Chain A
C-alpha cells in the first residue's frame, strides 16, 4: 500500500524529554532562550493585538502600543457585531455542519475500513485503488463538477451542499484501515468463536481499540470542516446558511474604515476553536502529527 509508505512514523508522546542527552553550553542556552522568546512574541502579537483591538471603542487609535494598555475598553463592538450580523447563526451553522460531517466521516470510515482491513473479499483491490485515486485529487479540481451536480440537484445554497461533499473522504477510511491493520487478529477470531456479529465486533472491539486514530480523525475532520472556505464560498449565497469562514469576509467587507469591528468578528468566531484547542491541545497536536498525510 502506497499510503502506508507516506505515513510519518507514529509520534512518540509529546512529553518525552531528552534533556540529559541534549545538554548544551551556556551560550547556546542563552541564545536558544532569546530566539524562542523573540519568535514567540512575533507569533503571538497578531492574535493578541486583534484581541485587544476588539475591546477598543470604534475609531480609537489602535496602532500605538501604549494605547493598548490604557482605558477606555468597551464591549460595545461585541454588542454591535451580535446585533448587526447573524454571527450567532453562522457559528451555529459552522458547528452543526462540522459536527454532522465529523460523526458521518467517523461512522462511514469505520464501517468501510473494517472489511478492507480484515477480509480478503473479491474486488478489494479495486476498492483500495479507487480510494487511493480519490486521495490524489485536490478538492480544488472538483469545484465545477460539484457546482453543476448540486445545481442540478437544486441543493446549492443549503446544508446539503455544505455537508455531502465532505463525508465520503478516502483519507478517513485509509487512516482507520491503517490502524485496524495493526490490531491483533486474535481478538476478532476469539469474538467470532463466541458467535459475536460483525457489527458488535466493530463497535465493541475494534472502535474502542482504535480510539487514538479515531480521535485524530475526528479533530482533523472537525477543524477542516470548521475552516473550509472555498467550496462554501462558492455554493452559499444566503447569509442565513453561511458558515463562519464565509460570513466573516462578508461582514468585514462593509467595514473598511475601522479595525475594531472586523477584529471583534475574528475574536468571536475564533473563541470556540480556541477553547477546543486549549482543552485538547495535546490531542490536537498529536492528531495533526498522526494524520500528517492530508
Chain B
C-alpha cells in the first residue's frame, strides 16, 4: 500500500479521464455484449436469450447480404484508396510548379463533412440531370442516368467515386510524409549510377513506402468496413437494399425497427471482424520492423 500512496498524485491525475472512460467507453462495450444476449420487449422488459440473436443473424438473409455488400465495398475501395493516393502523393512530391496548390486541392474534400459531401454529389449525380450527366451530354453521350438508383453496379460506382474523392487526400498525406522521409542521398547515389526516374521510383520509392502502405491498407480496411454515412445519404442502401452494409444494417435494425438485441449482436460481429484485422495488422507491422 506504500506504493499506492506514493503514487497517489498519478492516480488523481488519471481519475477524471478514467471515470469518463469507464462510463462512456468501457461500460458501453460491456453493456453492448449483454444487450446482444437479450431480447427486448415493447414494454421495456428484457430477457436473457443466450446466443439467439446471433443465431437470428446467421439466418437473416438481409444481414448476410449486408456482410457481402461490405466485403464488395472493401475489396474495391481499399486498392483504389491505396493506389490513387500513392499516385497523388508522387505528383505533389515531384519538383513541379504549384505542387502546394495541387496538394491543397486533393486534400480539400477531406475537411468537408459527410452530409456536405453527399449533398454535393447528389447534385453532381442528380437523378433529374446532374452535372455528370450534363458533361456526358456535352461529349455526345445522350442518356439520362440515374446514378444512385438505376442499377446495383452504378450505385456502387457512385459510392466508390464519392468515397475516393472525399478521402483520398488523407492517405495521400500519409504517403507524402513517408516519401519525404526517404533520404535524398539514395536518389543522388542512384542518379550517379545512371538510374532513370522510373527505375528510381521502382527500386527506391516503392520499397521505402512498404511500411506506410501496410498502415494505410489497415486504416482503410477499418474505415471501409465501417462505411455508412455516404451510402445512407446517397443511395439510402438502395436500389432494393443492394448497397446495405453492416453499419447500415445495425442502424436499420436498431433505430428503425428498434430490435436492439440483433442490432447489438451485429455490432459485436463487426467488432470481432475488426479485431481480427487489427491483430493481423499488428503481426504484419512487427514483421516489417
Which A residues are within 8 Å of any B CB, using their own CB? 2, 5-6, 8-14, 16-25, 28-29, 32-33, 35-36, 39-40, 43-47, 49-50, 53, 63-65, 108-109, 111-112, 114-116, 119, 121-122, 127, 130-131, 133-134, 136-138, 140-149, 164-165, 167-170, 173, 198, 202, 223, 226-227, 229-230, 234, 244-246, 248-249, 252, 259, 262-263, 265-266, 269-270, 273-274, 276-277, 281, 284-285, 288-289, 292-294
Query: In the docked arrangement, what's the CA distance between A150 and B118, Å?
Result: 28
User: Is the C-beta of B107 less than 8 angstroms from some C-beta in chain A?
Assistant: yes
- Judge whether B25 and A170 touch: CB under 8 Å: yes
Query: In the docked arrangement, what's the CA distance between A294 and B152, Å?
Result: 31
Closest 3 CB pairs of A and B: A11-B177, A21-B187, A19-B95
Query: In the docked arrangement, what's the CA distance between A119 and B7, Å?
Result: 8
- Judge whether A130 and B21 touch: CB under 8 Å: yes
Nearest Cβ on chain B to A84's Cβ, whole angstroms: 17
Query: In the docked arrangement, what's the CA distance between A44 and B20, Å?
Result: 41
Q: Contact check: which of B98, B120, B264, B275 meets A46 at CB < 8 Å?
A: B120
Q: Contact check: which of B93, B104, B119, B174 meets A265 at CB < 8 Å?
A: B119
Q: B71 contacts which chain A residues (CB < 8 A)?
A: none
- Judge whether A140 and B35 touch: CB under 8 Å: no
Nearest Cβ on chain A to B9's Cβ, whole angstroms: 5
Q: B267 contacts which chain A residues (CB < 8 A)?
A: 140-144
Binds A, one of B61-69, B75-83, B279-287: B279-287
Query: In the docked arrangement, what's the CA distance between A244 and B117, Å?
Result: 13
User: Is the C-beta of B144 less than 8 angstroms from some C-beta in chain A?
Assistant: no
The verdict on A289 contacting B95 (CB below 8 Å), with A21-B188, A108-B20, A149-B31 known, is: no
The verdict on A44 contacting B131 (CB below 8 Å), with A6-B215, A53-B123 known, is: no
Nearest Cβ on chain A to B282's Cβ, whole angstroms: 5
Which chain B residues numbered 48 to 102 have a C-beta less than 8 Å away from chain A?
A: 88, 91-96, 98-99, 101-102
- Judge whether B282 and A262 touch: CB under 8 Å: no
- Judge whether B106 and A289 touch: CB under 8 Å: no
Which B residues are within 8 Å of any A CB, using their own CB? 3-4, 7, 9-11, 13-14, 16-18, 20-21, 23-29, 31-32, 35, 88, 91-96, 98-99, 101-116, 118-124, 126, 129-131, 133-134, 138, 165, 170, 173-174, 176-178, 180-181, 184, 186-188, 191, 196-197, 200, 211-212, 215, 218-219, 222-223, 225-226, 228-229, 233, 247, 250-251, 254-255, 260, 263-264, 267-268, 270-271, 274-275, 278, 281-282, 285-286, 289
The verdict on A12 contacting B180 (CB below 8 Å), with A47-B108, A148-B31 known, is: yes
- Judge whether B219 and A294 touch: CB under 8 Å: yes
Q: A227 contacts which chain B residues (CB < 8 A)?
A: 112-114
Q: B212 contacts which chain A residues (CB < 8 A)?
A: 8-9
- Judge whether A230 and B9 touch: CB under 8 Å: no
Q: B188 contacts which chain A residues (CB < 8 A)?
A: 20-21
Q: B250 contacts which chain A residues (CB < 8 A)?
A: 140-141, 143-144
The verdict on A165 contacting B251 (CB below 8 Å), with A14-B176, A142-B267 known, is: no
The secondary-structure label for the interface of chain B is: helix
Query: In the docked arrangement, what's the CA distance between A131 and B18, Å?
Result: 10
In the complex, which residue of chain A has the Cβ closest to the Cβ of B247? Answer: A140
- Judge whether A146 and B131 touch: CB under 8 Å: no
- Judge whether B177 and A259 touch: CB under 8 Å: no
Nearest Cβ on chain B to A38's Cβ, whole angstroms: 11
- Judge whether B286 and A5 touch: CB under 8 Å: yes
Q: B215 contacts which chain A residues (CB < 8 A)?
A: 6, 8, 292-293
Q: B20 contacts which chain A residues (CB < 8 A)?
A: 108, 164, 167-168
Query: In the docked arrangement, what's the CA distance between A294 and B215, Å?
Result: 11
- Judge whether B102 and A36 touch: CB under 8 Å: yes
- Judge whether A229 and B113 touch: CB under 8 Å: yes
Q: Which of B180, B188, B222 is packed against the most chain A CB atoms within 10 Å?
A: B180
The verdict on A9 contacting B181 (CB below 8 Å), with A119-B10, A248-B116, A281-B104 known, is: yes
- Judge whether B222 and A223 touch: CB under 8 Å: no
Query: In the docked arrangement, what's the CA distance between A128 and B124, Å?
Result: 46
- Judge whether A149 and B174 touch: CB under 8 Å: no
Query: In the docked arrangement, what's the CA distance between A167 and B282, Å?
Result: 26
Q: B281 contacts which chain A residues (CB < 8 A)?
A: 6
Task: Pull 19 A–B residue pairs with CB atoms less than 8 Å apart, ordered by A.
Answer: A9-B177, A9-B181, A11-B177, A14-B180, A24-B94, A45-B131, A115-B10, A121-B7, A136-B271, A137-B25, A141-B268, A144-B35, A168-B23, A229-B114, A230-B228, A248-B116, A262-B123, A269-B116, A288-B173
In the complex, which residue of chain B has the Cβ closest to the Cβ of A49? Answer: B131
Given A40-B106, A277-B108, 5 other A-B residues pairs in contact with their CB atoms under 8 A: A9-B211, A115-B11, A248-B115, A249-B118, A270-B112
The verdict on A121 contacting B285 (CB below 8 Å), with A9-B178, A292-B174 known, is: no
Nearest Cβ on chain B to A184's Cβ, whole angstroms: 20
The verdict on A24 contacting B197 (CB below 8 Å), with A137-B271, A145-B35 known, is: yes
- Judge whether A234 and B7 touch: CB under 8 Å: no
